[in-house]
Chain A
Amino acid sequence: MESTYALIDCNNFFVSCERLFRPELENTPVVVLSSNDGCAVSRSQEAKDLGIPMGAPHFKYREFFKQHGVVAFSANFELYGDISERITNLLASITPRIEVYSVDESFLDLSELNINDYRTWGGIVRASILENIGVPVSIGVSSSKTLAKLASDRAKKTPALRGVLSLTEQGTSTDRYLEQVPVSDIWGVGWKLTPKLKAEGIHTALDLRRMNPRRTQQLMGIHGRQMHDELNGVTCLPLQRSHKPQQMIMRGRQFGEDTREFYVIESAIASLAARAAAALRRERQLARRAVVTLRTNRHRPGYQQVSEDVRFYTPTADTGVITSQLVRMLSARFNDRLDYHRADVLLYDFVPESGLQTDLFGTVDLPENNRSQARMQALDAINLKHGKGTVQFAAEQLSQSWRPRKRLMSPRYTSDWSELPEVRLL
């Protein structure tokens, strides 16, 4: 029997979560920033239409936002995580064959469900998530994950499709859609492959689908051959099953006393990164991004925070890689005239560890990655056997002058009794 996959993709997910509790923002341009002074990580359609790019730094756009009435939020990751989990649970009740690909995307394997009409099915699932949970999604259905992803992208960009596109029949209608998709939009075609393909006269998904398979392999290796098969509806990337992985991992600490010593901060960050990375490895995930935040005391005048959002060239769960990147980023922004109060490390945008071997990213240095995995496995094994912290990265020990305290954050509508949304009696 032929396989059928669906991709359920939340539309500008973080913005949609904010709008759930602020319905008056439905037609207002909204952006979510990676942290209080970070960059745009989620944009409403209205914000995109204003030309605000992904990653727009807040400090550069502050005036622009004001002029155009753009509402900016700091990321409320607890809220997004909660809504994401609700969606995952709903989807898992349809079929246990689910792959939670990221915080806002899941694949379902529908092959065994005997669905007659995928377009109707998608419409019902979409309405169910919108009504019961409260966020809009786009759904693409097709015979491979790559095609399902293209279908959901089209569904998102074409209002007339009302959020659902099924490309389950081979033939002209699928071709017509693939013809509109630039080759760079295909899952797995990165910035490295795009020019290579263009030089071959391959400009659209349809071109690639019709390309000589042997040539795709010559050009891009087994990865290219798989992509070609996937575009022709032959599954090469099976579902990556995972046991409800976490979507983000956050570790934060308040310093024992406020400090301006970089070595104390470096040590704290190293330790937080080590704990977050260990949790990440337990989930068999790799992170594509991390945020490190330093704050002064919120209750003292002149409250300030610095925050750095780091994108890893290759997704990683390596304590050493994560720590060194975060510390390097932070040292550039560090101000030694401020007394810092707490540090937070957040890992997010995960991909399954096993996803690397299927070569989704085109840029993975596999030998290096395997070495790193072996190193981390050894570290985890020793710490498991002899207790947490037996083996540490050197930076973790620089200072121990900080201890746990509770995290301070903006409204958490669904995870804190004291921050519930309010409703007025009429």
Chain B
Amino acid sequence: MDELNEEGGARAYSASRHTGTSVAVHAGFPNPAAERSGIPLSLDKLLVRHPGSTYFFRIRGHSWNRYGVFDGDIAIIDRALSPRERELVVWWQDGGEFALTAFERATRQNIWGTVTAIIHPFGEPGHDER
């Protein structure tokens, strides 16, 4: 968890916000070449751009099996990103549940965060790895 609390990510986004420039952050995987100096390779750095605004969710449902997304998978959500078309988002349904859909299908003002990755652990996901 220490990696997650590292300050680099937080500095990157808030610095751009506070200079008043528009925030140009792109969803998806960062350029692996940018991580060349990171020895050993860190999954946290690869998957979590902004530790301060990243949360993990557990995926529930079987309707996306054909896309390779399964019940029990872990979604990585970054609240610092502004979602764009064809990206995936987590949003709050008035019915009282978080839902994962394409940006176009979400109610804009209820969007909670942008999905940056989905992890599919084979077998039981690790418990209590704190």
Contacts and interface: CB of A to CB of B under 8 A. Distances in A.
A424 B100 contact: yes
B26 interface: no
A142 to B, nearest CB: 19
B79 A425 contact: no
B24 to A, nearest CB: 15
19 contacts: A85-B5, A89-B7, A90-B52, A94-B14, A124-B20, A128-B14, A132-B80, A133-B53, A406-B128, A413-B55, A415-B1, A415-B130, A418-B128, A422-B57, A422-B58, A425-B60, A425-B63, A425-B99, A426-B99
Interface residues of A, number: 31
Contacts of A421: 55, 57-58, 98
Interface of B: 1, 5, 7, 10-11, 13-15, 17-18, 20, 50-53, 55-64, 69, 74-75, 79-80, 90, 92, 94, 96-101, 105, 110, 112, 125-130
Interface string A115-151: 0000001001100100111100000000000000000
A132 B13 CA distance: 9
A125 B18 contact: yes
Given A89-B10, A424-B60, 9 more contacts: A86-B10, A93-B10, A124-B20, A128-B17, A134-B79, A416-B127, A417-B125, A422-B98, A426-B99
Contact of A90 (B1, B14, B129): B14
Contact of A132 (B74, B79, B97): B79
Contacts of A424: 60-61, 97-100
A425 B130 contact: no
A90 B52 CA distance: 7
Interface of A: 23-24, 85-86, 89-90, 92-94, 121, 124-125, 128, 131-134, 406, 413-418, 420-426
Nearest to A128: B17
B125 to A, nearest CB: 6
Contacts of B5: 85, 89
Nearest to B5: A85
B92 A23 contact: yes
Contacts of A416: 127-128, 130
A22 to B, nearest CB: 9
Nearest to B80: A132
A418 B127 contact: yes
A420 B76 CA distance: 11
B60 A417 contact: no
Contact of A426 (B53, B101, B126, B127): B101
A420 B58 contact: yes
Nearest to B129: A417
Closest 3 CB pairs of A and B: A425-B61, A132-B53, A93-B11
A421 B7 CA distance: 24
Contacts of B57: 420-423
A414 B55 contact: yes
A24 B64 CA distance: 26
Contact of A417 (B10, B17, B97, B126): B126
Given A93-B10, A426-B63, A426-B105, A124 B52 contact: no
A90 B74 contact: no
A420 to B, nearest CB: 4
B56 to A, nearest CB: 5
B18 A94 contact: yes
A425 B20 contact: no
Contacts of B1: 415
A89 B8 CA distance: 9
A242 to B, nearest CB: 16
A328 B86 CA distance: 61
